[in-house]
Amino acid sequence: MTVRQKFFLLMFLLFAFQLLSATPLAEQFKRTGYAEICNSNPTAATFDSLYAYFDEFIAFLQTNPVWAQKLYRAKERFIRSKDRNYYSTDFFGFYDESENEGRSQVSFYYSPHFHEFINSHYPEFNKVPEITRFLEACLAIQKPYGNLFNDAAVKLGLDTIFSSTYNRPPILFKVVKYLPSYVNTRPHYDGSAFSLFLDSTDNQSLLLSPYKSSFTVEDFSPPQREFSNSILLIPGGLLTEFSIYPTPHIVLPSGKTRYATVAFAMRPHYPPQKIEFSPLPDFKH
Ligand SMILES: [Fe+2]
């Protein structure tokens, strides 16, 4: 065999290997809409304390609106900084929709760069334990998931989607508290590359469906878990150029307080796209 032939054989084998290793996760997304990943670290207790810190954080901002405004101004400044483009989104910080009928939820979108921005531009936040405790808990919990998102991209043959001047994928880490009055009748798609459902205090309220050309309410069901403490990886709407379509999902109202934590992998420096996905059914009927 000539050197040239050897080279082409090697290239072919590499390509075939990539195809083979790319198949299972892509197939799984097509078949079920999600991949279950066994993960016991961080533990449920870690999330319980995250939710306790979140409650303190919410109570502090609701009783001290001046600090809530300060945090909002920090977010407004951050989304004008260059680090914002790494995440290709403007979702950062505190969203209090507790008084918004139906929405009835409070969420915080954490990112390490936003945290650093707060530390360097608003050192006064460091004097408020209700704020620092919550932000530090977010920082610690989201850290390991960069590798998991990288692995998922490699398994799909998308090794380069996260490569950038920073050496980890842009992660938006969302902590959300649904109030008992929360109602929702329509599923949605996430505006992420991948979303990772890390924890919730009520798994059964989350229904999802693999992507289809049309949907009915019956297509949606709670994911079948093999492990009790697993996390679920789903594709979001930012991978369509690779023929990977997003998994629609809905959190049904339960009449109870529900906490949840999700990590979104975003795409660095990604221009906004106008992509129409299949319409989603109304659960009211
Ligand atoms: Fe979502």
Verify cis geometry, omega within 30 degrees of 0, for the bond prior to 24. Answer: no
How remote is the CA of residue 33 from the centroid of ligand 1, in Å? 13
Q: How confident is the model at residue 260 (pLDDT cuts 50, 70, 90)?
A: very high
How remote is the CA of residue 107 from the centroid of ligand 1, in Å? 12
pTM confidence score: 0.90
How remote is the CA of residue 124 from the centroid of ligand 1, in Å? 33
How remote is the CA of residue 249 from the centroid of ligand 1, in Å? 6
Residue 16, pLDDT above cutoff 50: no
CA distances from 195 to 42, 91, 137, 216, 265 (A): 17, 15, 20, 23, 6
How remote is the CA of residue 54 from the centroid of ligand 1, in Å? 19
Instruction: Specify the pLDDT at position 7.
Output: 58
The helix (run of H) or strand (run of E) holding residue 150 is helix 145-155
- Number of helices (H), then strands (E), in the chain: 7, 9
Q: Yes or no: say if 71 and 93 are a contact pair by the CB < 8 Å rule.
A: yes
How remote is the CA of residue 8 from the centroid of ligand 1, in Å? 44
Sorted by where each starts, the structural domains of the chain and their CATH numbers stand as: 24-265 (2.60.120.330)
Report the greatest alpha carbon distance in the chain: 77
Start-to-end CA span in the chain (Å): 67
Query: Can you state the angle between helices 145-155 and 3-32, rounded to 10 degrees?
Result: 110
Ion ligand 1 neighbours, Cβ < 5 Å: 190
Determine the average pLDDT of the residues in 42-70.
96
| 103-142 pLDDT tens trace | 999 999 999 999 999 999 999 999 999 999 999 999 999 9
How remote is the CA of residue 208 from the centroid of ligand 1, in Å? 10
| 18-36 pLDDT tens trace | 544 445 999 999 999 999 9
The helix (run of H) or strand (run of E) holding residue 172 is strand 171-178
How remote is the CA of residue 105 from the centroid of ligand 1, in Å? 13
